[in-house]
Every structure is written in structure tokens, then in C-alpha cells.
Amino acid sequence: MIRYHMVITGKVQGVGFRFFVLYTASPFNLTGYVKNLSNGDVEIEAQGNPNNLMKFLSKVISGNNFSVITDYSIKEIPIINDEKKFNITY
């Protein structure tokens, strides 16, 4: 089990990106959250199997049909025990 904190930069707000991330996390059985930041970026914390996380990250940084990813950062952070699902946080 591993957990990553990510910040996605670009045209990622107002284009359905959080819902895209939520639905992308589901088949990989990940837990965590996605939320808009006040500066226009999107923050993601995702936790799960390392293989599944890498597949998830690959899809997320490709974006959906409406987003444009210009940059991203990823760092490993401590896991959160007993987290049950992946949510959109406001």
C-alpha cells in the first residue's frame, strides 16, 4: 500500500476533471480524494496498490477530453489507515 499527494496544473477546473478523477480511481480500488484549489490547480491524494496507482496516474495526467494538463507534482506521503473510499472534497 502506498499513498501519493498530487497537484495538477493547467485547465483543470470547470471541465469535469474532478469527476473524471473520481471515476478513474474507481476501477483501481483506490481511496483518497480530489479537490479544487483556490489557485486553479487540482489536488489529489490517492492510496492503494502501487501498480494500480501508477496506472491511475498515467490516466489522470493524460486528462479528459476537456482538460489541458500543463504540469503536475507527485510525492509519496504516509498512508491513512481505515480510509474506505475515494471522494470529491469541497
18 is catalytic: yes
- Reading the chain (90 residues) residue by residue, the pLDDT tens digits are 999 999 999 999 999 999 999 999 999 999 999 999 999 999 999 999 999 999 999 999 999 999 999 999 999 999 999 999 999 998
Assign residue 48 the CATH number of its domain.
3.30.70.100
Q: Which domain holds residue 68?
A: 2-88
The C-alpha angle 80, 86, 88, rounded to 5 degrees, equals 115
Q: What is the pTM of this model?
A: 0.95
Give the active site residue among 3, 29, 36, 65. 36
Which pLDDT belongs to residue 83? 96
Which pLDDT belongs to residue 47? 98
When divided into structural domains, the chain yields a total of 1
36 is catalytic: yes
**Interatomic CA distance for residues 26 and 34, integer angstroms:** 13
Handedness of CA 33, 36, 55, 78 (dihedral sign): negative
